[in-house]
Chains A and B, each alone.
Chain A
Amino acid sequence: MNGPVSSRYAAALVDVALDQNNADRVKSDLAAFAEAFAHSADLRHTLESPSVGREAKLQVIQKIGAVMELAPSVRNFLCLLVDHHRTELLFEIQEMFRVDLNARQNIAEAVVTSAQALGADERKKLIEMLEGQTKKKIEAQFHEDESLVGGTVVRVGSTVYDSSVRAQLDRMREQLESE
């Protein structure tokens, strides 16, 4: 693990993003590039191979940056990783960047899964409640899962609040089997 190294790179990028006041764009651009990096073996090989020269790697980053319209700060950061031979830490840095940025912006992430799609009022009510109780800005992702039968599962950080029928049915099954 290169936790401390990744943490330093992530903190530096958060500093730049907050200074330039484009943290959301940096966050999404970095995630987009990380996804491309994960899915393209050629790109990984090009950026990680010692047989490819520095100039060639930088040109690749600039071209991809142009195509993906990455923020200049993100392009520069990727060039820095190439210069320092740290491209293999990209995923770890991206995760630490997200955590660090959320912490500095007092943001909490919530993942909401429900059996039926939640309406706008329901979503608003849930986010307001979470923001009111946690005193943080909530960034929520909403998903649907019919296997829940009914109810909702909300994950905030590492805490899970489960009101799904599936969970109740599972508990009922365990109780019946243990009797």
Chain B
Amino acid sequence: MIRSARNLMSSTARFAVAFFLFAAPVLAQEAVKPKLEDSPTGQVFRWINFVLVVVILLYLFRSAPAYFRSHAEEISQKIAEGARAREAAEKRRAEAQAKLATIDTEVAKIRDEARRAAALEAERIKGLARAEAEMIERAAQAEVAATEHAARLELKTLAAGMAVERAEALLRKELQPKVESTRFFEFVTVMSSLVGQRQAKS
């Protein structure tokens, strides 16, 4: 609106300046030579001046309605656009209000789902932990059993070694040369029969 008013004022100012420029010589002649207007030349210029003014006025009367019409259309388009924008804003506001109206329900729903998911996850983690604990317990039991078995074997080996060492010490004391000689001849007797059997087989 303000821009249209400015354009109108600018056009009016330009028309006034042009009118003054065309009319100035005639007015000057009237001031300097009042009698000249009655001469034929003066009459001609007065008529030319009149024609120019008429032409300009005709031009203005013909173009002004179109100019104002285009401005009016532009203004009405902008008013329509403003109305549409207002409608869209109203629609968005209505949607936002609708959403705000159901936001509590949505939040509650999301909270319930989160609670259910957390409960399921907690149950799953508990199950995993239980299985892991059982596995660790089984492994520990197996390890204990293996360690116990190894300890028993070690103990048995140790006991056997000690018994053999003790027996060896006693035998070293007991096996005097005379005893050894007796044992040797007994061995030769036994061996004789063994070699004989072997020879008989071969």
Contact = CB atoms under 8 A, between A and B. Distances in A.
B200 to A, nearest CB: 10
Contacts of A135: 199
Given A119-B181, A133-B196, A176 B159 contact: yes
A169 interface: yes
B149 interface: no
Given A133-B192, A172-B167, A173-B161, A115 B180 contact: yes
A165 B161 CA distance: 15
Nearest to A170: B164
A150 B188 contact: no
Interface string A134-168: 11000000000000011110101001010101000
Given A129-B188, A156-B195, A159-B198, A177 B181 contact: no
A164 to B, nearest CB: 10
Interface size class, chain A = 20 to 34
A125 B183 contact: no
Nearest to B174: A150
A161 B183 contact: no
B60 to A, nearest CB: 134
A176 B156 contact: yes
A114 B167 CA distance: 19
Nearest to A179: B156
Given A134-B199, A135-B199, A173 B187 contact: no
Given A135-B199, A159-B198, A161-B191, A173 B184 contact: no
Contacts, number: 78
Contacts of B183: 150-151, 163
Nearest to A175: B160
A179 B153 CA distance: 10
B172 interface: yes
Contacts of A134: 195, 199
Contacts of A133: 192, 195-196, 199
Contacts of B59: none
Given A118-B184, A177-B157, A149 B177 contact: no
A150 B192 contact: no
B199 A149 contact: no
Contacts of B188: 125-126, 129
A171 B158 CA distance: 15
A125 B163 CA distance: 35
- 7 cross-chain pairs, A with B, having the tightest CB-CB distances, nearest first: A176-B160, A133-B195, A150-B175, A163-B187, A173-B164, A177-B160, A129-B192
Given A149-B171, A149-B172, A177-B160, 16 more contacts: A122-B181, A122-B185, A125-B188, A129-B191, A133-B192, A149-B168, A150-B171, A150-B175, A152-B187, A161-B195, A163-B183, A169-B167, A173-B160, A173-B164, A176-B163, A177-B157
Interface of A: 114-116, 118-119, 122, 125-126, 129-130, 132-135, 149-152, 154, 156, 159, 161, 163, 165, 169, 172-173, 176-177, 179
15 contacts: A114-B184, A115-B175, A115-B180, A130-B195, A133-B195, A134-B195, A134-B199, A149-B172, A150-B180, A151-B187, A152-B187, A154-B191, A161-B187, A161-B194, A163-B183
